Amino acid sequence: MVVLGAGFAGLAAAQGLAGLGVDVLLLDRHNYHLFTPLLYQVASALLDPSQIAHPVRATVRRRRSLRVRVATVRRVDLDHRLVETDRGPVAYDHLVVATGSTTDDFGVAGVDAHAQPLKELPDALALRNHLLSQVESAQWETDATRRRTRLTVAVVGGGPTGIEYAGALAELLRLVLAREFGHLDQREMRVLLLEAGDHLLGAFAPPLQRYAVDQLRRRGVEVRLGTRVTAVEGGRVRLHDGSEIEAGTVVWVAGVRVSPLPGLTGAGDAAGARGAVPVTATLQLPGRPEVLVIGDGAAVVQDGRPLPMIAPVAIQEGRHATRVIAAQLRGEEPPAFRYTDKGIMATIGRHDAVVEVGRWRLRGFPAWVTWLLLHLMLIISFRNRLLVLINWAVNYLFYDRPVRLIVRAGPDRDREAVEGPGPRG
């Protein structure tokens, strides 16, 4: 058995398959599992990377039949049942594809060169370095316009990641950095949240959408709805109405699309929405029952709507992959997949969040406590749970962000933060 990807879906599938007593090989280009829901807290200097990333081998070491290898997958040869990697070919009898998603620029010019994504751990570290470097260099800026530009952050995308990062960033700038850089005018520290639609948090109920907008604006975030970005340039964002926003930092969290894997779909198969691969009701590749596609990469429609690219869906699909392969090994008909909706949630800032589970809706402090508890439960290791809880407590009690470090590995690729706006490093 070969599983591609150690994200939520792949890890759940690999652990389940190992429990069947079969040999499992888990391939990923990283040696860690990343808890992506808290990635924005690394980018906003609240958490250390090691607190949301856990070595895969440490997670699965009790599964004796599960091996982990680090490799970059190049393509899949369905006819010969081979996975081609940068380390050589890997044969499989059953294949579970959980290669996840990547940032979608929607064809907007300049996103790749001038905007900061927030999808992977290196993205969060680069964004943290860039943002803190902009604040540092603003101290030396004598021109008021250039100083305001350096201290302006434009967050593009009004989904959960966008509002969570915008809220966290507003608190970082006004509650932490403003005290340490007291000579800087707080009015020059701006956080803008740009959303092309007429509301934030599209999957939530309208009352919670409106509540999120109100609470973000109370925290000083400039929320602009119906604002479509047409281009990102060095130090500015161009909008659909021809206007521009001068911003030293542009964060692109407008959406994701499936990470392409050549050879996966087979001849004649068309990609679904956002590049997702069409699968059967059992999550198997049509005509290839030995191949399952799960997580963000699977185009699964339930009750007439595609399932969202979120961790709960991925985890349930990963567990279902085990049931499908177990049925195949027994010579039985594989069961169909049915997602059980556990609800959606997003935090806005200190003691504030929105939660929706069916018809049950929470907002404010009760929602925030619910958000905290659930995320603590989902973090893999006890050590990481404890460290995250300590950092959250320190931040809540003392208005402190403990990881305000500008640390770069290798050559300095973020020199534009000091020398002027330019391509993303």
Q: Is residue 43 part of a domain?
A: no
- Domain of 294, CATH number, reads 3.50.50.60
Measured distance CA(82)–CA(71) in Å, rounded: 14
Q: CA gyration radius for the chain?
A: 22
Q: Indicate if 310 and 371 belong to the same structural domain.
A: no
- The residues, ordered by sequence, that sit 6+ positions from 188 with a Cβ below 8 Å of its Cβ are 138, 147, 148, 151, 152
Q: Give the tens place of pLDDT for each residue, 126-159.
A: 999 999 999 999 999 999 999 999 999 999 999 9
Q: Is residue 42 part of a domain?
A: no
* More confident position, 409 or 383: 383
Measured distance CA(321)–CA(325) in Å, rounded: 6
Q: Among 267, 296, 329, which residue terminates a domain?
A: 329
pLDDT, residue 316, reads 98
Q: How confident is the model at residue 219 (pLDDT cuts 50, 70, 90)?
A: very high
164 has catalytic annotation:
yes
Q: Which of 161, 153, 158, 195 is nearest to 177 (CA)?
A: 153
User: Average pLDDT of 288-312?
Assistant: 94
Q: Indicate if 385 and 246 belong to the same structural domain.
A: yes
Q: Is residue 337 part of a domain?
A: no
Q: Indicate if 240 and 371 belong to the same structural domain.
A: yes
**Of residues 84, 141, 164, 356, which has the active-site annotation?**
164
Q: Residue 213: count other Cβ atoms within 10 Å of its Cβ.
A: 21
Q: Indicate if 115 and 174 belong to the same structural domain.
A: yes
Minimum mean pLDDT range among 212-216, 353-357, 403-407: 403-407
pLDDT, residue 325, reads 98
Q: Is residue 300 part of a domain?
A: yes
pLDDT, residue 396, reads 85
Q: How confident is the model at residue 410 (pLDDT cuts 50, 70, 90)?
A: low
Q: Indicate if 263 and 244 belong to the same structural domain.
A: no
Residue 246 pLDDT > 60: yes
pLDDT, residue 192, reads 98
Minimum mean pLDDT range among 39-48, 300-309, 360-369, 409-418: 409-418
Q: What is the pTM of this model?
A: 0.91
User: Average pLDDT of 332-336?
Assistant: 97
Q: Indicate if 128 and 218 belong to the same structural domain.
A: yes
Q: Which of 331, 353, 289, 352 is nearest to 78 (CA)?
A: 289
Q: Is residue 187 part of a domain?
A: yes
Q: Residue 19: count other Cβ atoms within 10 Å of its Cβ.
A: 14
* More confident position, 211 or 421: 211
Q: Indicate if 266 and 250 belong to the same structural domain.
A: no
Residue 99 pLDDT > 90: yes
Measured distance CA(162)–CA(324) in Å, rounded: 36
Domain carrying residue 292: 2-29+71-103+257-329
Q: Is residue 41 part of a domain?
A: no
Crossing angle of helices 365-378 and 382-398, in 10° steps, is 150
Q: Indicate if 371 and 238 belong to the same structural domain.
A: yes
Q: Is residue 423 part of a domain?
A: no
Q: Is residue 60 part of a domain?
A: no
Q: Indicate if 248 and 266 belong to the same structural domain.
A: no
Q: Indicate if 269 and 396 belong to the same structural domain.
A: no
For residue 215, give Cα distances in angstroms to 299, 306, 347, 362.
34, 30, 11, 14
Distance between first and last Cα of the chain:
38
User: Average pLDDT of 208-227?
Assistant: 98
Q: Indicate if 249 and 268 belong to the same structural domain.
A: no
Q: Indicate if 169 and 312 belong to the same structural domain.
A: no
